[in-house]
Amino acid sequence: MKPEGASLVGFGSGSPDGAIFRAFDPALNTSIEPVFISATLADADRAAQLATAAAPMWAALSGAERNLFLRLIADKLAQHAAVLAARATQETAIPLARCEGEIGRTVGQLRLYGDAAESGDWLDARIETAIPDRKPIPKPDHRSMMRPLGPVVVFGASNFPFAYSVAGGDTASALAAGCPVIVKAHPAHPGTSDLVGRLIVEAVKECGLPEGTFSLLFDAGIEIGQALVKHPLVKAVGFTGSLRGGRALADAAAARPEPIPVYAEMGSVNPVFILPGALAERSAALAGGLHASAMLGVGQFCTNPGLIVLQRTGAAAEFIRALTAKLAATAEATMLTPGITASFRKALDIRSRIPGVRTVGAALRRDESGHSSVAKAMADKKAPPTANCSAPVWFETDAVTFVRNHTLGEEIFGPSSLVVWCKDAAEMREVARHVEGSLTATLHAGKSEEAQPGDLVAILAAKAGRLVLNGFPTGVDVGHAMVHGGPYPATSDGGRSTSVGTRALTRWGRLICYQNFSENLLPPELQSANPRGVRRLVNGEWTIAAL
Amino acid sequence: MKPEGASLVGFGSGSPDGAIFRAFDPALNTSIEPVFISATLADADRAAQLATAAAPMWAALSGAERNLFLRLIADKLAQHAAVLAARATQETAIPLARCEGEIGRTVGQLRLYGDAAESGDWLDARIETAIPDRKPIPKPDHRSMMRPLGPVVVFGASNFPFAYSVAGGDTASALAAGCPVIVKAHPAHPGTSDLVGRLIVEAVKECGLPEGTFSLLFDAGIEIGQALVKHPLVKAVGFTGSLRGGRALADAAAARPEPIPVYAEMGSVNPVFILPGALAERSAALAGGLHASAMLGVGQFCTNPGLIVLQRTGAAAEFIRALTAKLAATAEATMLTPGITASFRKALDIRSRIPGVRTVGAALRRDESGHSSVAKAMADKKAPPTANCSAPVWFETDAVTFVRNHTLGEEIFGPSSLVVWCKDAAEMREVARHVEGSLTATLHAGKSEEAQPGDLVAILAAKAGRLVLNGFPTGVDVGHAMVHGGPYPATSDGGRSTSVGTRALTRWGRLICYQNFSENLLPPELQSANPRGVRRLVNGEWTIAAL
Flag if A469 and B521 touch (Cβ within 8 Å): yes
Instruction: Please count the other Cβ atoms lying within 10 Å of the Cβ belonging to residue B30.
Output: 10
Whether residue A364 has pLDDT greater than 80: no
Which CATH superfamily does the domain covering B271-469 fall into? Aldehyde Dehydrogenase; Chain A, domain 2 (3.40.309.10)
pLDDT tier for residue A383 given thresholds of 50, 70 and 90: very low
How far from B163 is each of B228, B407, B425, CA to CA, in Å?
22, 30, 39
Q: Which of A91, A118, A211, A302 is catalytic?
A: A302
* Chain centroid, CA B367 distance in Å: 41
- pLDDT tens for each residue of B239-298: 999 999 999 999 999 999 999 999 999 989 999 999 999 999 999 999 999 999 999 999
Burial of A95 (0-12, 13-18, 19+ CB in 10 A): middle
Phi then psi for residue A504, to 5 deg, are -60, -25
Choose from B128, B256, B510 for mutation: most chain A CBs within 10 A: B510
Whether residue B374 has pLDDT greater than 70: no
Flag if B465 and A518 touch (Cβ within 8 Å): no
Beta carbons of B130 and B141 less than 8 angstroms apart: yes
- Residue A362 confidence (pLDDT): 55
User: Which CATH code, of 3.50.50.60, 3.40.605.10, 3.30.420.40, 3.40.50.620, is assigned to A8-266+498-507?
Assistant: 3.40.605.10
Angle between helices B362-369 and B314-328 (to 10 degrees): 60
Closest by CA to A419, choosing from A396, A443, A392, is A396
CA distance B496 to chain A (A): 4
* pTM as predicted: 0.95
Q: Tell me which chain A residues have a C-beta less than 8 angstroms from the C-beta of B496.
A: 149, 261, 509-511
- pLDDT tens for each residue of A287-346: 999 999 999 999 999 999 999 999 999 999 999 999 999 999 999 999 999 999 999 999
Q: Which of A91, A102, A211, A265 is catalytic?
A: A265
**Mean pLDDT, range A153-178, rounded to an integer:** 97
Flag if A512 and B469 touch (Cβ within 8 Å): no
Whether residue B349 has pLDDT greater than 70: yes
Which residues neighbour B469 within 8 Å (Cβ) at sequence distance 6 or greater? A514, A515, A516, A517, A518, A521, B442, B443, B444, B445, B450
Choose from B61, B105, B144 for mutation: most chain A CBs within 10 A: B144
Q: Tell me which chain B residues have a C-beta less than 8 angstroms from the C-beta of A451.
A: 520
Whether residue A365 has pLDDT greater than 60: no
3-class secondary structure, B142? strand
Domain range list for chain B: 9-266+498-507, 271-469
**Distance from C-alpha of B380 to C-alpha of B330, rounded to nearest angstrom:** 12
Whether residue B371 has pLDDT greater than 60: no
Whether residue B384 has pLDDT greater than 60: no
Averaged confidence pLDDT in chain A: 94
The one-letter code for the residue type at B100 is E
Which residues neighbour B424 within 8 Å (Cβ) at sequence distance 6 or greater? B311
Flag if A471 and B516 touch (Cβ within 8 Å): yes
Beta carbons of B322 and B282 less than 8 angstroms apart: no
B265 classed as catalytic: yes
Which residues neighbour B133 within 8 Å (Cβ) at sequence distance 6 or greater? none
Whether residue B221 has pLDDT greater than 90: yes
**Mean pLDDT, range A10-37, rounded to an integer:** 96
The one-letter code for the residue type at A165 is S
DSSP state of A22: E
CA distance A472 to chain B (A): 10
- pLDDT tens for each residue of A405-431: 999 999 999 999 999 999 999 999 999
- pLDDT tens for each residue of B74-84: 999 999 999 99
DSSP alpha helix (H) spans, A61-95: 63-79, 81-92
Alpha-carbon torsion (B521, B525, B528, B532), positive or negative: positive
Task: Go through chain B and tell me how many residues it has.
Answer: 547
**Distance from C-alpha of B91 to C-alpha of B387, rounded to nearest angstrom:** 15
Averaged confidence pLDDT in chain B: 94
**Distance from C-alpha of B436 to C-alpha of B457, rounded to nearest angstrom:** 15
- pLDDT tens for each residue of B16-28: 999 999 999 999 9
Exposure string of A25-36, with b = 16+ CB inside 10 Å and e = fewer, is bbbeeeeeeeeb
Cis link prior to B34 (omega < 30° from 0)?
Answer: yes
Flag if A127 and B481 touch (Cβ within 8 Å): yes
The CA-based angle B453-A179-A39, given to 5 degrees, is 120
Beta carbons of B260 and B237 less than 8 angstroms apart: yes
User: What topology does CATH give the domain B9-266+498-507?
Assistant: Aldehyde Dehydrogenase; Chain A, domain 1 (3.40.605)
Facing residue for B482 by CB, picked from A142, A464, A485: A142
A265 classed as catalytic: yes
Flag if B485 and A510 touch (Cβ within 8 Å): yes
**Distance from C-alpha of B322 to C-alpha of B510, rounded to nearest angstrom:** 52
Choose from A513, A517, A525 for mutation: most chain B CBs within 10 A: A513
* Closest chain B residue to A460, measured at CA: B512
B498 to chain A, any CB pair closer than 8 A? The answer is yes
3-class secondary structure, B114? helix
Closest by CA to B68, choosing from B118, B120, B121, B103, is B118
ipTM for the predicted complex:
0.95
Whether residue B368 has pLDDT greater than 80: no
A515 to chain B, any CB pair closer than 8 A? The answer is yes
3-class secondary structure, B149? coil
User: DSSP of A219-284, one letter per residue?
Assistant: -SSSHHHHHHHH-TT--EEEEES-HHHHHHHHHHHHTSSS---EEEE-----EEEE-HHHHHHHHH
Q: Tell me which chain A residues have a C-beta less than 8 angstroms from the C-beta of B462.
A: 150
Facing residue for B126 by CB, picked from A481, A510, A515: A481
Facing residue for B542 by CB, picked from A514, A520, A542: A542
Which residues neighbour A385 within 8 Å (Cβ) at sequence distance 6 or greater? A332, A378, A391
**Distance from C-alpha of B47 to C-alpha of B442, rounded to nearest angstrom:** 42
